[in-house]
Amino acid sequence: MSFTTSLVAVANRIDPSLSYWSILLQSGREWSERSLVASNSKGQKGVRKLDWGNDLVSTGDIHRLKELRLHCPDGRVAVLEITPDMPAFQFKTKSLDMLGAGGNSLEYQVIGRVIDKETGRCECFIWDYRPKAGEPNLVAYKSSIYHFGGWRDTVTPLGALGLEVQGFKGL
């Protein structure tokens, strides 16, 4: 990990225009995707943002969540209580800016919990960066982790979520 990569992690940590997730563990410890963690990648030391897959799923902490929160750029915080029978998930999407504009931009960020493991029924909060005129940015939504739909007509249904990436085993 290079010095530049570490600086990018720090800069992204403090961008107030971005939504982000945070968790409360059963132990009382709090983490967020803005938390910086030490990293030693390919012999280069640095820092990076906490990662859902690398730091929660792979360590087993995903099974010790008490709360999952979505912090919105407008100051609101959506909270889901998490229990062993209602596992948590999160994801976000970006779009690639085309025609020479360069870069990419976030489309939406989702936090959720599975409320019925057999059917995959889930409930979520979504921060939508590009809502239709007159529609809210923060959306409460119910769907299925096996057939995740679109909450507005301009969002393409996502289909099945990557269950192992989210930490779901044996669902």
pLDDT digits (tens, 9 = 90+) for 17-73: 889 999 999 999 999 999 988 887 776 788 888 888 888 988 899 999 999 999 999
Q: Which domain holds residue 87?
A: 19-32+65-166
Question: Does a structural domain hold residue 85?
Answer: yes
Burial of 169 (0-12, 13-18, 19+ CB in 10 A): exposed
Split into its structural domains, the chain has a count of 1
The pLDDT assigned to 54 comes to 85
Reported confidence tier of residue 1, pLDDT bands at 50, 70, 90: very low
- Residue 11, pLDDT > 70, answer no
- Residue 93, pLDDT > 70, answer yes
Which tens digit of pLDDT belongs to each residue from 139-154? 999 999 999 998 888 8
The pLDDT assigned to 6 comes to 53
Question: Does a structural domain hold residue 55?
Answer: no
Reported confidence tier of residue 163, pLDDT bands at 50, 70, 90: low
Distance separating alpha carbons of residues 80 and 158, to the nearest angstrom? 22
Question: Does a structural domain hold residue 10?
Answer: no
Q: Considering only 76-90, 103-117, 124-138, 154-168, which range has the smallest mean pLDDT?
A: 154-168
Question: Does a structural domain hold residue 93?
Answer: yes
Question: Does a structural domain hold residue 60?
Answer: no
Question: Does a structural domain hold residue 119?
Answer: yes
Question: Does a structural domain hold residue 114?
Answer: yes
Token pair of 34 as six digits: 């803005």
Which tens digit of pLDDT belongs to each residue from 106-140? 789 999 999 998 899 999 999 998 888 888 999 99
Helix, strand or coil for residue 76? coil
Helix, strand or coil for residue 58? coil
